[in-house]
Structure 1
């Protein structure tokens, strides 16, 4: 492995990070922390009468399957941005990216032991099976082919109920977005972005107006579809807020989390398991099945990770797992400067 990690030349140029991607990634990471709360603490979904708990209904309607699509789409964008300069970073870029996914897969296997159903292992598998082969598509056809194929796969995944099935479609759509320069064009035209967000919000509101909670749970394709429109709405709101005075606050809170997303994702699981070991039953602390105290725990973890990530980044360019991931991917001689295409 050592010979593979030291045969790469340093990149010929460095790209500045895209703040919006870091902020949105950090925002999505906070949402995923909330998603992981019920399964990690074995929280009930119904009360003593068999009715859905109010907090659980909130999770299902506003959190579950709302942040995972954002993270998946951003992963595809990151891969697309990375592919644009991959040949500059390594004489064998596909081998380097294969190492990247292999590392993610190994980390995912370990993480599965702590949190069954986590996303890293599926990400690695889909990356190897879907993203890497797509790099052989001729450059002139790359964006249209990955866009159409991604859209078809995403529609099929939504029709089947969503979940992990949305990963291939979102990866390909993100790849098309990242390698086509669409990210910068979108950020340069906030009016168009606002229009897209308004349409997504309108579809979301209509969807909630014509269905009830039970219907959305029975017909999972409705829930999956609303998850996509709500995820898009969340992203548009965050990106547009970055053009207001709120940008300073959003940058301070979410950017450090986004820049160290892998470390924080795994770290949050470790912290939550530690809390569960000390306090195995959250339901005895409140009358909402433990969800209220769980939210407080999540808020505490977010605060700790924001402060910890900010302090870490003052002395190091990347999070600890991100640093190791980069070395495995590109080798020790690869540049250590910040780059908007690193995940």
Structure 2
């Protein structure tokens, strides 16, 4: 059993989960966008809207595809928390270095967005700025803020 108390093992564990999530996202994209079929498209479209196909696709999207995105998104925040926790108090370059990384992430996301609409890396880069701004608030305040955002997303 892996000991998660040491920082090296914890990072390896997080990297393993991130790789698993990336592999899952890649496989689901391959399935969704690059399915080779001998069935003509006019017939394929006719049978994609029946009840069984809709149920299977919704199940796949919620329980499989959605979980890979959720794991990947969660690990973005976990990685920030690990970096923040491992920095030394004398490290005055942490914030500028993290903003630089967010800028690079945004550029990669923008380039990817030019080729494929729906890229999430730019969103992570944008939201990463809020991680920096909210890094020193208390747990209760953060939980209240998260609950407010959750309700806001339900309404809109």
The C-alpha deviation readout for 1:239-294, integer Å capped at 9, x for no partner, is xxxxxxxxxxxxxxxxxxxxxxxxxxxxxxxxxxxxxxxxxxxxxxxxxxxxxxxx
1:62 alignment counterpart:
63
Distance 1:89 1:15 in 2: 19
Q: Structure 2: how far apart are the matches of 1:93 and 1:57?
A: 42
Q: Which string of whole-angstrom CA distances, capped at 9 and with x for unpartnered residues, describes residues 159-212 of structure 1?
A: 258xxxxxxxxxxxxxxxxxxxxxxxxxxxxxxxxxxxxxxxxxxxxxxxxxxx
Q: Residues 28-49 of structure 1, C-alpha deviation per residue, up to 9 Å, x if partnerless?
A: 22221233235644898x7414
The answer to whether 1:117 aligns with 2:109 is no
Q: Does 1:37 align with 2:30?
A: yes
Q: Secondary structure at the match of 1:48?
A: helix
1:115–1:42: structure 2 CA closer, same or farther, 3 Å change rule? Answer: farther
TM-score, normalised to structure 1, is 0.36
Which 5+ residue runs of structure 2 have no aligned equivalent? 1-5
Q: Is the 8 A contact 1:90 1:96 kept in 2?
A: no
Q: Tell me the CA shift for residue 94 of structure 1.
A: 1.4
Native 8 Å contact 1:40 1:115 kept in 2: no
- Higher RCO structure, 1 or 2 (CA under 8 Å, sep 6+): 1
What does residue range 24-103 of structure 1 map to in structure 2 within 5 Å?
Answer: 24-37=17-30, 40-41=33-34, 47-49=45-47, 50-51=49-50, 53=53, 56-87=57-88, 90-103=91-104
In structure 2, C-alpha distance between the alignment counterparts of 1:86 and 1:37, rounded to whole Å: 38
Is the contact made by 1:34 and 1:63 (CA closer than 8 Å) also made in structure 2?
no
- TM (norm. structure 2) is 0.71
Q: Does 1:146 align with 2:152?
A: no
Check conservation: 1:94, 1:132, Cα contact below 8 A.
yes
The one-character-per-residue Cα deviations of 1:53-95 (angstroms, maximum 9, x if unpaired) are: 3763452243232221111111101101111233458423211
Q: Distance in 1 between matches of 2:93 and 2:22?
A: 32
Relative distance call for 1:100 and 1:40 in structure 2 (3 A) is same
Give the 5 Å matches for 1:6-17.
15-17=7-9
Decide whether the 8 Å contact of 1:105 with 1:124 is kept in 2.
Answer: yes
2-structure distance, mates of 1:105, 1:67: 21
Match of 1:134 in 2: 134
Following the alignment from structure 2 to structure 1, what is the Cα–Cα distance between the partners of residues 62 and 70? 14
Q: Distance in 2 between matches of 1:149 and 1:40?
A: 37
Q: Across the two proteins, how many residue pairs are aligned to each other?
A: 141
Distance 1:39 1:125, change over 3 A: farther
**Structure 1 alignment gaps of length 5 or more:** 1-13, 162-343
RMSD: 3.1
Offset of residue 24 of structure 1 = 2.3
